[in-house]
Structure 1
Amino acid sequence: MVTWNRGASGTCALCQNHLETREHLFFSCPYGSRVWAALAKGLLKARFTTDWSLLLEYISDQHLDRVEGFLIKYVFQAAVYTIWRERNQRRHGEVPQPVEGLILWLDKQVRNQISSIRIKGDMRYEAAYQSWIKARS
């Protein structure tokens, strides 16, 4: 952003302490890292990582179990989008949301997505809800 707009601040809008990079915003910033860890540690277990390249490699693996693959891909997409949205809202002067509120909101989004798939009758994801509950405990 700083390269495109020389007047823009390069400081992270979430923690106000570091240069805002992709790795910092989503994985090193105390705010973003708490969101990611709260949602992904239970799913990824020993494979938990904050390395962008490793994470993309893992979620792109075509041999992932259908439910596990769906959950981690959806959580990754939802977390990245939501953290970015929070960052933008802060940049534009909106009231900051507490990290706990964002985690709860994302948890609800994952549950809603699973429920909408189940309501449509796609039974291939029947185990997704139980997997998500187990990962969150």
Structure 2
Amino acid sequence: MWCTGSPLRSVITPRYITNAGFNLRTTVADVIDQNGNWKWPQAWFDLFPVLITISVPNLDSNAEDRLVWKDVDGKPGDFKSAQVWNTIRSQEHHAPWANMVWFSQCIPRHAFHMWLAFRNKLKTQDRMAVWEAGSQTNLNLMCCPLCNYDRDSRDHLFFQCNFSAQVWNKVKAMVNLTNVDTTWSSILNWVEQHSRSKSVDHIVSKLVIAAASYYIWQERNNRLSTNSKRTVDQVAEMVKGSVRLRLMSFRFRASSAKERIFKAWQICNDDVVDPG
């Protein structure tokens, strides 16, 4: 980028370049004469007014061309793969729920599910209706397979559905989520306030939210595909068991916090295997 308008072949058509005796591989030095003037035809200034603003550069014949990497702000620097990625990727604002989905103690399959849920990309019935999948009659007959009432959606499943609400109320009692009700907006409000927290209680709460939504979604899919049904207590125990297993591999900074968490989740120290 030797000038703001370069490369000039993006401005001047190939036909005019060829008619003037140049080609697409012609360099800047090739179009400067010995007196330091442009060699291109005078008519080009009328055809391509941008050329009027381009002054003849001072070329040092003893210097060699070199490649210089510039970042997204145009600042030259060392070539790094991280800089390349930041340049070519599509950059958006940091999602307020990102730390709720991806954190070091997360359960990967639960995290991926939460990522879809926060983006509202789960294949719920309300989204299928927008896609116009199936006949209109079949769409009108759709209802939540958990409570058999109303068409399921993300906000309905987590956790306004009667079945989901019962599961949620059972598992949220295990952690400090008493102020979070059965609405998705209430969960989002908690996430925005605590998702970045390093507190062990908030980390366990994030595990509970992710596990609850994951197993409710799993139960919903099982009822649609196999017609098998679990009770509220069974699903709640699956949530608790999943979180309990994850807690057994935690590295606690304070022994008092470990004792308190283990007592609340009924974990015996004899059952814990040292992850180191």
Q: Tell whether 2:256 aligns with 1:123.
A: no
Which residue of 247, 260, 263 maps to 1:114? 247
Percent identity of equivalent pairs? 28
Q: Tell whether 2:138 aligns with 1:4.
A: no
Segments of 5+ residues of structure 2 without an aligned counterpart are: 1-127, 267-276
Structure 1 CA distance for aligned equivalents of residues 174 and 198 of structure 2: 16
Residue 79 of structure 1: aligned partner: 212
Deviation at 1:52, TM superposition (A): 1.2
CA separation of 1:46 and 1:31: change in aligned 2, threshold 3 A: closer
Deviation at 1:65, TM superposition (A): 6.1
Q: Tell whether 2:189 aligns with 1:57.
A: yes
Q: Taking structure 1 as the reference length, what is the TM-score of the superposition?
A: 0.79
Segments of 5+ residues of structure 1 without an aligned counterpart are: none
| Greater Rg by CA | 2
> SS state of the match for residue 74, structure 1?
helix
The Cα offsets for residues 65-120 of structure 1, whole Å up to 9 and x where unpaired, read as: 61111111000000111100111111112411111111112111111110022xxx
Structure 2 CA distance for aligned equivalents of residues 23 and 44 of structure 1: 22
Residue 233 of structure 2: aligned partner: 100
Q: Tell whether 2:166 aligns with 1:34.
A: yes
Cα-Cα RMSD: 2.3
The Cα offsets for residues 22-56 of structure 1, whole Å up to 9 and x where unpaired, read as: 22212221110011110113423541312212312
The amino acid that maps onto 1:123 is F
1:10-29 map, 5 Å? 10-29=142-161
8 A Cα contact 2:160 2:183, kept in partner: no
Deviates more, 1:88-97 or 1:122-131: 122-131
Deviates more, 1:45-54 or 1:20-29: 45-54
Aligned residue pairs total 129
Q: Taking structure 2 as the reference length, what is the TM-score of the superposition?
A: 0.42
The amino acid that maps onto 1:59 is V
**Structure with larger RCO (C-alpha < 8 A, sep 6+):** 1
Structure 1 CA distance for aligned equivalents of residues 162 and 178 of structure 2: 21
8 A Cα contact 1:15 1:31, kept in partner: yes
Residue 43 of structure 1: aligned partner: 175
